[in-house]
Each structure stands twice: as structure tokens, then as C-alpha cells.
């Protein structure tokens, strides 16, 4: 199955009132595990490579992008390639040449006016290059000189400001602050469902949830039912990966073949991806929904309802 565009996966998910999950790729084993987990669950997914992951690979985007793209091409489900949390427009420009169909431009740490200007420029460039662009509204109402990460504790996105931001920047999707935080290792986050519903009614583009590893299954299901479309996971995969490496090496302290512990870690990440996708799909439908879940062939469709 070919690499598919992120725009198609998100549009199908939004049309079905479901979601599409996006998983962060750091190594080849992550990409292989995400593909395997998505195949086992029978749902499409987005492979995300972050600016931080590119930095880890010596600042070179092409090797991991090429490997992830090749994994997607060989997959039995639709997988797309997305650049995550890019703060440098030059990296977005490199992504356009290396198989990505989408990017998140993250100017959320800038003061609001600068975030709007930088994001509008990034969206104009991305659209000219055929890329779908996600952005983040990085500060919350009434304090234009007090930037904060949209995913910091306590920060929330104001619906009227989100509408204005989307109108002024022309972005295709918006990451919003509704109670999740990045890099949580326990699933204890509580989301503001009423705010998600208001954002969905107000904002004309699909909403994106970051920091989903810290959100319990039932909260994720509720978030999708009231309007979240793209659900980003990273830390959950790394917990599985690292826990498994640690277990294998402590059981076999003389082991030197990396295929033993990396292979076990890859299998563990695949199980995590499969389980996250399966549980998202199992969340009960929203009130008034017809019960239809995505498309008939859900390998191209969406997860959850």
C-alpha cells in the first residue's frame, strides 16, 4: 500500500466523526513497530518525525524519513509521514523534499502576534509546496505578552482566539490546549470536554490533541466523541520500548546482540500501538451518531467515533 497523504487520513477521520492516531518515530524500530501495530489493529496511522528526532539524527531529516517512507510503502494499511513540532521553516522545506505530506509548524513559544505572522508565512509556503499544515495556538486569552506552551499545565485555548488564529494563518489543523501535557508517564490527565466541544463548534479545521500518552482511554474516547480528530502519541511508545530493553538486558546481562533487545522492544511498541488503536476504536459512539465507523474498508479510514 502506498504512502498516503496525511490530509486524506485526517479528512476521512473528520468526515466519519472519528479520529486518526499519530505516533512519533525516533528509530527505524519505531516505524516498523507502528506499521505492525496498525496492521494488527486494521487501522491507518500517521508516522510523525519531530524536529527533536531529526536533531538526534545529527540534524539530517532524510535518512529516517526515507526509512519510514519505505516502511509505509510496504505496509498493509495506509500510513502517512508528518513532520512534528518544527520550529524552523527550513526544516519544513526539507520535509517537502523527503516524502512528507504534512508538517506541524510550532511557533507556540513566540508572543501571539509573532506566532500569527510566522505561522501564516509557514502555511503559505507549505500550501505552495503541497503540504498540509498543522499549527498550535501557544498562548491563552488576554495576555499577549505572556507566551506559554499550549500544552503546559493549566493552559487552555480560547475558542474565539482559535477562530481568529485559524482565519489569519490559513492552517489546516489546530493543536489546542484542553488539559493534556507532553511526556506524561502516567495516564492521569483529565480533559476539558466542554471546551473541546466549544472549540469544535467554533474552529473550522480539525482539532489535534498532543500529549495523548498521559490521557486515559475513556478520556480519549470522550475527546474524540466531542471533536478531537488527530491524536498524537509519543511517550507511550517509548515507555514500552525502554521498559523492554531494560528487562531483556537485566535478564541477560551478557547479551551483546542488539537484535535481541531491539527486537523485543519493537514487538512491545507494536503491541502498544495495536492496543491504543483498538481501544480508541472501541470507544462508544457519540449521542446521535448512526453507528457507522469510518469507511467500509477501515484500513484507509478512521479510528473511533
Q: Which does 27 bind (CB under 5 to 8 A by kind): Zn ion, ligand G3H, none?
A: none
Of residues 109-128, those binding Zn ion (CB under 5 A): none
> Judged by CB under 5 A, does residue 298 bind Zn ion?
no
Instruction: Give the 3-state secondary structure of residue 231.
Output: strand
CB of residue 68 vs Zn ion: minimum separation in angstroms? 17
Instruction: From 8, 34, 14, select the one nearest 229 (Cα to Cα).
Output: 14
Binding mask 56-85 for Zn ion (x = CB under 5 A): ------------------------------
Instruction: Give the 3-state secondary structure of residue 110.
Output: coil
Distance CA 212, CA 180 (A): 7
Distance CA 25, CA 7 (A): 19
- Which is nearer to ligand G3H, 185 or 292 (by Cβ)? 185
- Which is nearer to ligand G3H, 140 or 175 (by Cβ)? 175
Count interface residues toward Zn ion (CB under 5 A).
1
Bridge partners of 233?
Answer: 23
Q: Which does 233 bind (CB under 5 to 8 A by kind): Zn ion, ligand G3H, none?
A: ligand G3H
145 is catalytic: no
- Which is nearer to Zn ion, 113 or 152 (by Cβ)? 152
Q: Which does 136 bind (CB under 5 to 8 A by kind): ligand G3H, Zn ion, none?
A: none
DSSP category for residue 212? G
> Judged by CB under 5 A, does residue 198 bind Zn ion?
no
Distance CA 225, CA 287 (A): 8
Q: Which of 84, 106, 158, 192 is catalytic?
A: 84
Q: Which does 24 bind (CB under 5 to 8 A by kind): ligand G3H, Zn ion, none?
A: ligand G3H
DSSP category for residue 285? P
**For Zn ion, which stretch binds (CB under 5 A), given 12-20, 91-99, 152-160, 204-212?**
204-212
How does DSSP assign 135-196, residue by residue? EE--S-TT-TT----TTSTT----HHHHHHHHHHH--SEEE--SS--TT-SS------HHHH
> Judged by CB under 5 A, does residue 274 bind Zn ion?
no
> Judged by CB under 5 A, does residue 210 bind Zn ion?
yes
Biggest CA-to-CA distance, the chain: 59
The CA-based angle 81-86-89, given to 5 degrees, is: 105
- Which is nearer to Zn ion, 75 or 212 (by Cβ)? 212
CB of residue 106 vs ligand G3H: minimum separation in angstroms? 9
Buried b (16+ CB within 10 A) or exposed e, 233-257: bbbbbbbbbeebbeebeeeeeeeee
Site of interaction with ligand G3H (CB under 6 A): 24, 84-85, 182-184, 210-214, 232-236
- Which is nearer to Zn ion, 16 or 209 (by Cβ)? 209
- Residues near Zn ion (CB under 5 A) are 210
Catalytic positions, written as ranges = 84
Amino acid at each position: 500500500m502506498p504512502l498516503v497523504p496525511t490530509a486524506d487520513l485526517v479528512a476521512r477521520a473528520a468526515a466519519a466523526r472519528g479520529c486518526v492516531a499519530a505516533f512519533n518515530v525516533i528509530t527505524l524500530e519505531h516505524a516498523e513497530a507502528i506499521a505492525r501495530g496498525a496492521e494488527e489493529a486494521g487501522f491507518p496511522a500517521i508516522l510523525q518525525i519531530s524536529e527533536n528526532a531529526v536533531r538526534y539524527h545529527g540534524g539530517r531529516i532524510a535518512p529516517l524519513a526515507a526509512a519510514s517512507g519505505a516502511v509505509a510503502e510496504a505496509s498493509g494499511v495506509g500510513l502517512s509521514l508528518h513532520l512534528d513540532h518544527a520550529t524552523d521553516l527550513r526544516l519544513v522545506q526539507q520535509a517537502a523534499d523527503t516524502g512528507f505530506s504534512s508538517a506541524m509548524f510550532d511557533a507556540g513559544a513566540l508572543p501571539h502576534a509573532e506566532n500569527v505572522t510566522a505561522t501564516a508565512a509557514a502555511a503559505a509556503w507549505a500550501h505552495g509546496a503541497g503540504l498540509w499544515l498543522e499549527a498550535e495556538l501557544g498562548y491563552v486569552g488576554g495576555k499577549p505578552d505572556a507566551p506559554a506552551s499550549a500544552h503546559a499545565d493549566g493552559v487552555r485555548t480560547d475558542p474565539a482566539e482559535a477562530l481568529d488564529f485559524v482565519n489569519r494563518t490559513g492552517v489546516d489543523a489546530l493543536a489546542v490546549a484542553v488539559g493534556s501535557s507532553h511526556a506524561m508517564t502516567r495516564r492521569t490527565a483529565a480533559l476539558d470536554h466542554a471546551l473541546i466541544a466549544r472549540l469544535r463548534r467554533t474552529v473550522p479545521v480539525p482539532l489535534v490533541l498532543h500529549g495523548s500518552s498521559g490521557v486515559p482511554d475513556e478520556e480519549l474516547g470522550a475527546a474524540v466523541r466531542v471533536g478531537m480528530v488527530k491524536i498524537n502519541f509519543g511517550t507511550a511508545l517509548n515507555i514500552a520500548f525502554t521498559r523492554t530493553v531494560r528487562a531483556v538486558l537485566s535478564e541477560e546481562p551478557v547479551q551483546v546482540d542488539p537484535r535481541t533487545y531491539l527486537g523485543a522492544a519493537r514487538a512491545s511498541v507494536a503491541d502498544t500501538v495495536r492496543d491504543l488503536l483498538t481501544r480508541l476504536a472501541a470507544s462508544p459512539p457519540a449521542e446521535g451518531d448512526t453507528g457507522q465507523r469510518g469507511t467500509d474498508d477501515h484500513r484507509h479510514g478512521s479510528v473511533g467515533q
